Chains A and B, each alone.
Chain A
Amino acid sequence: MPRRVLVANRGEIVLRIARTCHARGLEVVTVHSPHDEGAPHVTGGSRSVGVPSYLDSTALIDAAGASGCDAVHPGYGFLSENAAFARAVTEAGLTWIGPPPDAMATLGSKTSARAHVERAGVPVVPGSAPGTPEQLAGEAARLGYPVLVKAAGGGGGKGMEVVSAPADFLRAARAAADEAARSFADPSVYVEKLIGRARHVEVQVMGDRHGNVVALGERECSIQRRHQKIVEESPSPAVDEALRTSMGDAAIAIARAVGYVSAGTVEYLLAPDGTFYFLEMNTRLQVEHPVTEWVTGLDLVWLQLLVAGGAELPSAAMRPTRRGHAIECRIYAEDPASGFLPQAGRLSCVREPQGPGVRVDSALAEGGDVTIHYDAMLAKLSTWGHDRPEAIARMREALRRFVILGVRTNIDHLQDIVAHPAFARGELSTSFLDDHVAGWAPGSAPPAVLAATALPLATTARRDGPGPGTSNVRSPDPWALLEGFTPCAGAPA
């Protein structure tokens, strides 16, 4: 079992991993880039080491060595699916908290994964081998439009473009290759046929070094914008026991065939006719893992730590049970009324919801800045209920109580998604937003909101100005404060 873990990541996932480590008596060391010196995750461990970038594998391994760590947890994104990094960690004598590098290499490239999965007898979406945009134009024509251009070496919706006509193909494919090169240091792309009105359903798997591989149920992540999930749930309203078993068995077969260890996710497209196709396997802990934790009662990070230390999966994981229903909403700094454009700014007021069946995974600090340097995800809000309607009701209330001021977010947009009758009926597909919430705009402001313009408020401190003076102003006599107080000030970042 590792004793001191370097978390090679930033933001909420660092705090999430640290929570489990600390609960089990393991020490945590965090890292931070020059942009993140004041970020909340920096204080998540017993010390934090500066690195030039979260993609600098040498600096990360040096940081682990210098701080006396014996293991590295990569989180998600950045180098989490980079087999070369996993190998370098192992060669430095550190424990890699993730799958074996060879399994990552086979499954990590979407195209070699497709070949591997076809051999294992699981259907895949018709697609091509990787190539240059010029080479792929012919493949796209063979598959028939519309097609998706995808990065061979990545995920998370980065480096992905929908192309509906041949005339648009080259420009879109080049854009995808550029983005893939920037995000994953690998410009290779491939094309895949676009299956319309499909659902995105994925199976969580977990393996140990003793040959055990289990499926921990599915998550439905159909609601997406920019090919990035924003609402996820478990179980899927479209999956019955028979389908759950066949999707789970296929996922186990795929993982077993490469000697998979640790947490992984097998993603499928579920067509309207009930056929499922393998999409890709993510060889890491997934952003949306909390919904699986809610319904199984398992701590997936703890299972990762256990199996990394060579232990067998505990019986709770070997014979998983499912209880109730969980939903997760991803909260982003973005403007849903203008093409989900990412937003930057200072968080001048943050209130996170609480209550039965409510979980917030975040790394938000009042007074902190949302910068342009990283992904714009601010927080993950998840709720649990005995059944789906209860989970939805709790989600609606928790979203109402999630306050983020100072930067535009998608919280109101999420409220309208989870309150939609089609969502209540479980009628989900990857085109849900286009079908039901297209052209979203905020409504008209109620009178009390307009009247707020008459309230005496000090302007929040400028970015480079002096730090705000007071925080959490409390006074029994509000009128004493009406001149020149600073509302909702936070500590300088």
Chain B
Amino acid sequence: MTTRRVRVGAVELEATARLQGGRLTLEGPQPCAWEVRLLRGPEWVLVGPDGVECLLVVRDASGWWVHHRGRTWRLGLSQAATSRAPEDHGSLIAPMPGKVLEVLVHEGEEVRAGAPLVVLSAMKMRIELKSPIAGVVTRLPHAVGDQVDAGVPLAHVDAPAPGDPTAAP
């Protein structure tokens, strides 16, 4: 039985499941069991209480992609989210590779949550990246014109100390 913490959209949950002897079982709030009938490439055919269920499943370094009954699910391994140190809370991460087009703030500037900090150019689009929290900009590691990879921090915002008047929403 393996337990995995996965993220589906904004929701994080535990999936405890096992494949043994051609039988797939899921424990937890929605326990269920299926017989695995057919495996063809990425396609798995399960037979369970809800009839025949076809899954197309592929795995990559950060989780699973599952197509089931017309819908596509991304199950992200949630290590990144859970192991992230609290100080990373105010980090603005590049969501995709691109070029820094504009830096709209300077270090030491106070910003509100949702304030645009950095503009990235990717896929011929102008993507405005907003501050995850209210606070003070402490780091801006990239200058206009820099090429950045996905996952790279573009800015860091420190939350104001408790009692600080700027902490008011």
Contacts and interface: CB of A to CB of B under 8 A. Distances in A.
Contacts, number: 184
Interface stretch (A4-12, A229-237, A252-260, A339-347): A339-347
A487 B95 contact: no
Contacts of A158: 124
A341 B32 CA distance: 35
A349 B65 contact: yes
A375 B124 contact: yes
B96 A372 contact: yes
B123 interface: yes
Interface string B22-63: 101110101110101011111010101010010111111100
B11 interface: yes
A373 B56 CA distance: 29
B126 interface: yes
A342 B56 contact: no
Interface in A399-414: 399-401, 403-406, 408-409, 411-412
A215 to B, nearest CB: 32
B18 interface: yes
Interface string B1-37: 0101010111101010111001011101011101010
Query: Which of A343, A344, A409, A472 has the most B CB atoms < 10 Å from its CB?
Result: A344
Contact of B75 (A337, A373, A453): A453
A455 B44 contact: yes
Interface stretch (B66-74, B133-141, B159-167): B66-74
A487 B17 contact: no
A488 B59 CA distance: 10
B8 to A, nearest CB: 5
B24 A445 contact: no
A315 interface: no
B103 to A, nearest CB: 14
Contacts of A475: 39-40
B44 to A, nearest CB: 6
Contacts of A451: 15, 17, 24-26, 32, 34, 46
Nearest to B96: A344
Contacts of B72: 403-405, 409, 411-412
Contacts of B115: none
A373 B123 contact: yes
Given A349-B58, A488-B56, A454 B71 contact: no
A478 B19 CA distance: 13
B101 interface: yes
A363 B156 CA distance: 39
Contact of B70 (A399, A447, A458): A399
Nearest to B55: A452
B96 A406 contact: no
Nearest to A183: B124
B127 interface: yes
A375 B56 CA distance: 27
Contacts of B122: 342, 344, 372
Contacts of B153: none
Contact of A448 (B10, B46, B121): B46
Contact of B126 (A175, A374, A376, A488): A175
B56 A405 contact: yes
Interface residues on A, range: 35 or more
B90 interface: no
Interface size class of B (residues with CB under 8 A): 35 or more
Interface in B98-150: 98, 101, 119, 121-127, 150
Contacts of A84: none
Given A344-B123, A487-B58, A448 B53 contact: yes
Contact of B60 (A411, A446, A460): A460
A405 B9 contact: no
Contacts of A482: 39
A165 interface: no
Given A178-B101, A442-B9, A478-B39, A454 B18 contact: yes
Contacts of B71: 400, 412, 415, 442
A399 B66 CA distance: 15
Nearest to B18: A454
A92 interface: no
A196 to B, nearest CB: 24
Contacts of B59: 457-460, 487
A347 to B, nearest CB: 10
Interface of B: 2, 4, 6, 8-11, 13, 15, 17-19, 22, 24-26, 28, 30-32, 34, 36, 38-42, 44, 46, 48, 50, 53, 55-61, 64-75, 95-98, 101, 119, 121-127, 150
Interface of A: 158, 175, 178-179, 182-183, 337, 341-344, 346, 348-349, 351, 372-376, 399-401, 403-406, 408-409, 411-412, 415, 441-442, 444-460, 462, 472-475, 478-479, 481-482, 487-488
Given A342-B125, A344-B150, 11 more contacts: A182-B124, A341-B127, A342-B96, A411-B72, A447-B32, A448-B32, A449-B55, A450-B28, A450-B30, A453-B75, A457-B57
26 contacts: A175-B119, A178-B126, A341-B127, A342-B96, A344-B122, A348-B60, A349-B56, A351-B67, A372-B97, A372-B98, A404-B72, A405-B56, A406-B60, A412-B71, A415-B71, A445-B66, A448-B55, A448-B68, A449-B73, A451-B25, A451-B34, A452-B17, A453-B64, A457-B59, A473-B41, A474-B40
